[in-house]
Amino acid sequence: MGALEGRVAIVTGSTSGIGLGIARSLAAEGCSILLNGFGEPETIERLRAELAARWGVRVAYSSADMRRPDEIEAMVGQARHELGRVDILVNNAGIQHVAPVHEFPVERWDDVIAVNLSAAFHAIRTALPQMLERNWGRIVNIASAHGLVASVHKAAYVAAKHGLVGLTKVVALETAETGVTCNAICPGWVLTPLVQKQIDDRATRGGIPVEEAKRALLAEKQPSREFVTPEQIGALTVFLCSPAAAEIRGAALPVDGGWTAQ
């Protein structure tokens, strides 16, 4: 039996990248999963079936758009209906846009804040009452090194991730005397499709090979010169759901190769 046998988790933005790594790590510990995200229906069904078959857990899927509070509420309701309840909520969905503040498109600001920050609020407010009812729950918000420090041209992303760290602390304080915990994980560079796009853009702008752009990106911020892996983020998520982490509350835990130690 896995450490999370019988538990049920929602992982937003889990059809690729960090979210998929987290979903796999939780499923490997016996946790049933509600996947969420965009992608080709065939690809998503293949992922859903793979997780279910490999670890013998129930796996559902929601296409809820994280910009829409009504769809987020429906996603939580679907998890309760199809999987029985929600024990673990991982707010991972995120998008990025890069531009100087004075040139930042207003609609892109609104989208980044909605997906990276407001969606977590809507998911938490909808899922938390049932956690409190059972006096057990784990909320894990996937923030970023950019939730602790800033970089140029990322006004919306940095604002949203700083806000997510703040939201984490408030929820942790409000649940401090209960069996529900809320924490944030703050990854540095993880080689996800989102980061790969930034590498490709850098290579194009600089007229340099992609591998050189990748090395330059790491050298700028991450002293270890190594990417964090989705599996490492998944393992930390599993730990935060374990009894050993019951008194870790309101923490923002960097997994960033030394980025924020500088």
Do residues 202 and 109 share a domain?
Answer: no
Model pLDDT for residues 123-169, shown as the tens digit of each residue: 999 999 999 999 999 999 999 999 999 999 999 999 999 999 999 99
Do residues 99 and 202 share a domain?
Answer: no
Q: Which helix (H) or strand (E) holds 25?
A: helix 17-28
Query: In degrees to the nearest 10, what's the CA dihedral of 66, 156, 95, 29?
Result: -80
Do residues 217 and 138 share a domain?
Answer: no
User: Would residue 3 count as lying in a domain?
Assistant: no
Give the global pTM: 0.95
User: Would residue 85 count as lying in a domain?
Assistant: yes
User: Would residue 89 count as lying in a domain?
Assistant: yes
Do residues 239 and 125 share a domain?
Answer: yes
- Write down the pLDDT at residue 176: 98
| Contact of 28 with 20, CB cutoff 8 Å | no
Do residues 202 and 113 share a domain?
Answer: no
Terminal-to-terminal C-alpha distance of the chain: 41
| Contact of 203 with 210, CB cutoff 8 Å | yes
How much is the mean pLDDT over the chain?
97
Model pLDDT for residues 194-219, shown as the tens digit of each residue: 788 889 999 999 999 999 999 999 99
Q: Determine the structural domain holding residue 212 and report its residue range.
A: 189-227
- Write down the pLDDT at residue 194: 76
- Write down the pLDDT at residue 8: 98
Question: Which residues of the chain form beta strands (DSSP E)?
Answer: 8-11, 32-36, 59-62, 88-91, 137-142, 180-187, 252-255
Do residues 63 and 174 share a domain?
Answer: yes
- What percent of the chain is modeled with pLDDT above 90? 96
Do residues 127 and 223 share a domain?
Answer: no
Do residues 81 and 159 share a domain?
Answer: yes
- Write down the pLDDT at residue 1: 64
Do residues 95 and 111 share a domain?
Answer: yes
- Write down the pLDDT at residue 198: 85
Active site amino acids:
157
| Contact of 171 with 124, CB cutoff 8 Å | yes
